[in-house]
Chain A
């Protein structure tokens, strides 16, 4: 079956513009995660969705960041009024049930560059 896919693979935008990043998780996976990775660094948790439960937004760095997951499948991460410090690779992952010991399967990421 297909893995986690993300689009676009690269996005260059101007400071102040809004961007939308898309994630298609593995079919049947109930948990979906968004992370941010600065150049060559570890991953910073942003937001977590599990089934129909309220998302865990504790990692979102500011109110310019939001995410939704429609129909328990596809997710969109929106960054409003982008800033240069938002430049990073945004990674999406999904897991079967969301347990902490579950394997998280990552997509290839979206590289965002804010000029």
Chain B
């Protein structure tokens, strides 16, 4: 069974602080996606990383895929209250259509 572990589970920070969320597995994934989910809504895709060692930037968000494609990180610079939400990583595997989701990191950014 493939598992994705996210850490931390909860994070409460002040506006302007930096943070990093981690997504780790013992399994190799062909690609990894990061989603953000707000209360009462479905997850919304932020980014897909495919190549080991890949780094993608989306404004203040930086995503990295590990060299071995087993782990990923999400770094947010100068967090804003609008960044508040549940962040989910999800891994895709060759031959399996469904994504394997991590348990999520709940982020709260206080103004």
Q: Is the CB of A41 within 8 A of B48?
A: no
Total A-B residue pairs with C-beta atoms closer than 8 Å? 68
For A, the interface residue count at a CB cutoff of 8 angstroms equals 27
- List the A residue with the shortest CB-CB distance to B106: A40
Complex: how many Å from CA A7 to CA B93?
30
The verdict on A91 contacting B92 (CB below 8 Å), with A41-B103, A101-B31 known, is no
* A44-79 vs B, Cβ < 8 Å mask (1 yes, 0 no): 110010100000101100000000000000000000
Q: Is the CB of A42 within 8 A of B103?
A: yes
Q: Is the CB of B48 within 8 A of A108?
A: no
Q: Is the CB of B98 within 8 A of A33?
A: yes
Q: Is the CB of B97 within 8 A of A50?
A: yes
- List the B residue with the shortest CB-CB distance to A109: B42
Q: Is the CB of A101 within 8 A of B97?
A: no
The verdict on A100 contacting B30 (CB below 8 Å), with A43-B88, A50-B97, A59-B98 known, is yes
Q: Is the CB of B42 within 8 A of A48?
A: no
Q: Which of A31, A100, A101, A109 neighbours the largest number of chain B CB atoms within 10 Å of its CB?
A: A100
Chain A interfacial positions (CB closer than 8 Å to B): 4, 31, 33, 35, 40-45, 48, 50, 56, 58-59, 91, 93, 98, 100-101, 103-109
Besides the known contacts A42-B102, A105-B45, A106-B41, 11 further A-B residue pairs in the complex with CB atoms under 8 A apart: A4-B42, A35-B101, A40-B104, A42-B4, A91-B42, A91-B43, A98-B97, A100-B92, A100-B94, A101-B31, A104-B45
Chain B interfacial positions (CB closer than 8 Å to A): 4, 6, 30-31, 40-45, 48, 50, 86, 88, 90, 92-94, 96-104, 106
